[in-house]
Amino acid sequence: MPDLCDGQKPQHAPAAGKGGRLLTRRTQDFLTKTNERPSSRMTKNQTPQLNPGFCALGFENPGITKSIDGSFRTWSVRSIAWSPDGWYLASGSDDSSIRVWRMPDGTRRHTLAGHTDHISCVTWEPSGAIIASASYDNTIRLWDSVTGRQIRVLEGHTGIVRGICFTRDGKLLISKSADNTIRIWRCDTWEVLGFFDEPTSGALLGLSIHPTNLQVATLNSTQDRSDRSIRLWSVNVEKVFANAPKSYSVHYTNAKVVLVGDSSVGKTGLGIGLTGQTYQKTDSTHGRQVWTLETEEPGYRLVHQLHLNEVAVALVVFDGKRETDPFGGVRHWDRVLKQSHLVQDNAGLPLKKFLVAARTDRGSIGVSQERIDALVKDMGFEGYFVTSAKENYNIKELGDQIRACINWELMPKVTSRQMFHSIKSSIISSRKSGIVLTTKDEMYSGYVKSDTSNGESNKSISQFETCLGLVEAQGFVRRLGFGGLILLKPEILDAYASALVNAAKDEPDGMGCIANGMYSI
């Protein structure tokens, strides 16, 4: 078949349409080529045709994204895959997102965001209901192809997941990783049925399943190209299910709750109260703080952190005693929340908002109830709470309302190894101990000494590093680029950045620059 769009660089990751009718090849210069075989007249229910020479993704370059500041950034597209019915094309790129394109007009249907590193592979479940993606963040994520909503995260690999594919019947998902293993996941419970070792080196890793029997083909290439081998593996499904090892998987759900508002309105005290801690007077804090709030549902964790993507519940906090427009900050943060929700397209979670008056122990609210009711109605708040963290007033009631309004069925589920869950719990416990700065070796040593679980016994450093990366992606820790140090309170960086901004703002010359020195946070 002749090339219909000339590319200047090698092609990778071919994707065929249903019945071999269309062939799309992703090029490194971001052009997508399509070759079409002659066919008879098509009906509207058949695979869509593209005219010869049509660049399928020419309407909106899949490797170019627009950032919040309006600038454009170029990313490499690493993987593409047709939907089983041939009407959609999914592409995964280095900006850690997956885009779903409607064919044949090439319009973008969804942008799927959730991974924290490059996308290495995308594929469709045979029915077309689910899109699976693999990433350099060592995870596999599953997405609802209709809504674009993330439905599950699969943790278990300790290296980059290079390839994934479903069996033809949709019962199994096979994944190949740079950790030298191939894992077999059952698609009804998303637990690992088993895995086998395959030596892996280099960046070129391929994975494919035979269309009529469970024969897995894998591709491996060493960095020096001394070994380029294709291996064939026959998998006996009956034996795999019959001999499946004892499950060491855990399943849980995260929901993110944020407290937003202007400085000195009582967010920190409210957060301390909601997480069941004893009230303590705090100075005004700039930036974010992170807490974990236990829920009554087993295995559920409610995470507060001031990152406004994938927010389930937002508490907009204000100080009703302020003499100058007490609702000024409320309007600002309401706009910020709405904008953040729009950026997520239609794949965002339903956002619930509550208006909260804090620090009411300092005196009555200087705003009429009529104005408050009008604001709640106008901005679409679910309700209004008057609170005092110091007197523990309405704190429990607010917490109960937060838990009750979260639609847990819509929250992405996480399937993880028991050991991973144990390691992550150990890391979070280190945060609660008051330690601010530590090293990876110290944390690993502490975990090995403290873990008394009866599950998996192999506590490798690679597994610990993988879990450390997963916890870092949630904002609980930050690995520093020097000395092997780990910051257990990454919100300190936010406070330091705020201190620099304030210092620059207070510079009498007004040049927006400051001298080297010590700045209070």
- Residue 304 belongs to a domain with what CATH number? 3.40.50.300
Residue at which a domain ends, from 354, 376, 410: 410
For the ranges 9-18, 196-205, 240-249, 320-329, which has the lowest average pLDDT? 9-18
Please state the domain count of the chain.
3
Do 209 and 277 fall into the same domain? no
Give pLDDT, residue 40. 36
Residue at which a domain ends, from 369, 390, 410: 410
Cα 332 from chain centroid (whole Å): 26
Do 315 and 179 fall into the same domain? no
The residue with greater pLDDT, 518 or 186, is: 186
Find the mean pLDDT for residues 253-258: 85
Do 160 and 120 fall into the same domain? yes
Looking at mean pLDDT, say which of 142-156, 221-235, 423-437, 452-466 comes out highest: 142-156
Q: What is the DSSP string of 140-153?
A: EEEEETTT--EEEE
Do 200 and 312 fall into the same domain? no
Do 420 and 374 fall into the same domain? no
Contact 159, 201 (CB under 8 A): no
Q: Is the peptide bond before 298 cis (omega within 30 degrees of 0)?
A: no
Give pLDDT, residue 469. 86
Give pLDDT, residue 518. 57
For the ranges 56-70, 413-427, 443-457, which has the lowest average pLDDT? 56-70
> Which one-letter DSSP state was computed for residue 245?
P
Q: Is residue 198 part of a domain?
A: yes
- CA pair distance 268, 380, nearest whole angstrom: 24
pLDDT tens for residues 65-99?
444 334 444 568 889 999 999 999 999 999 999 99
Q: Is residue 104 part of a domain?
A: yes
Q: Reply yes or no on whether the pLDDT at 370 is more than 70.
A: yes
Q: Is residue 520 part of a domain?
A: no
Three-class SS state of 73: strand
pLDDT tens for residues 149-184?
999 999 989 889 999 999 999 999 999 998 888 999
Do 274 and 371 fall into the same domain? yes
Give pLDDT, residue 163. 92
Do 30 and 110 fall into the same domain? yes
Residues of 175-201 as b/e, b for ≥16 C-beta within 10 angstroms? bbbbbebbbbbbbeebbbbbbeebebe
Q: Is residue 3 part of a domain?
A: no
Do 272 and 234 fall into the same domain? no
Find the mean pLDDT for residues 483-502: 78
Give pLDDT, residue 90. 96
Q: What percentage of the chain reaches a pLDDT higher than 90?
A: 26
Give pLDDT, residue 345. 60
Do 281 and 239 fall into the same domain? no
Q: For residue 285, what pLDDT band results from cuts at 50, 70 and 90?
A: low
Contact 413, 153 (CB under 8 A): yes
Q: Is residue 40 part of a domain?
A: yes
Q: Reply yes or no on whether the pLDDT at 14 is more than 70.
A: no
Tell me the one-letter amino acid at 360: T
Q: Is residue 515 part of a domain?
A: no
- CA pair distance 320, 333, nearest whole angstrom: 16
Do 49 and 108 fall into the same domain? yes
Q: Reply yes or no on whether the pLDDT at 384 is more than 90.
A: yes
The CATH number of residue 418's host domain is 1.10.10.10
Residue at which a domain ends, from 380, 410, 440: 410
Do 218 and 295 fall into the same domain? no
Do 217 and 229 fall into the same domain? yes
Find the helix or strand (DSSP H, E) in which 423 lies: helix 418-432
Q: For residue 290, what pLDDT band results from cuts at 50, 70 and 90?
A: low
Find the mean pLDDT for residues 439-451: 83
Find the mean pLDDT for residues 353-376: 88
Give pLDDT, residue 447. 83
Give pLDDT, residue 247. 66
Contact 91, 79 (CB under 8 A): yes
Q: Is residue 317 part of a domain?
A: yes
The CATH number of residue 99's host domain is 2.130.10.10
Find the mean pLDDT for residues 451-458: 56
- In 210-299, beta strands by DSSP E: 215-221, 228-234, 249-260, 291-294
Q: Is residue 506 part of a domain?
A: no
Give the structural domain span for 475: 413-489
Find the mean pLDDT for residues 98-112: 91
Q: Reply yes or no on whether the pLDDT at 28 is more than 60.
A: no
Q: Reply yes or no on whether the pLDDT at 1 is more than 50.
A: no
Give pLDDT, residue 73. 47
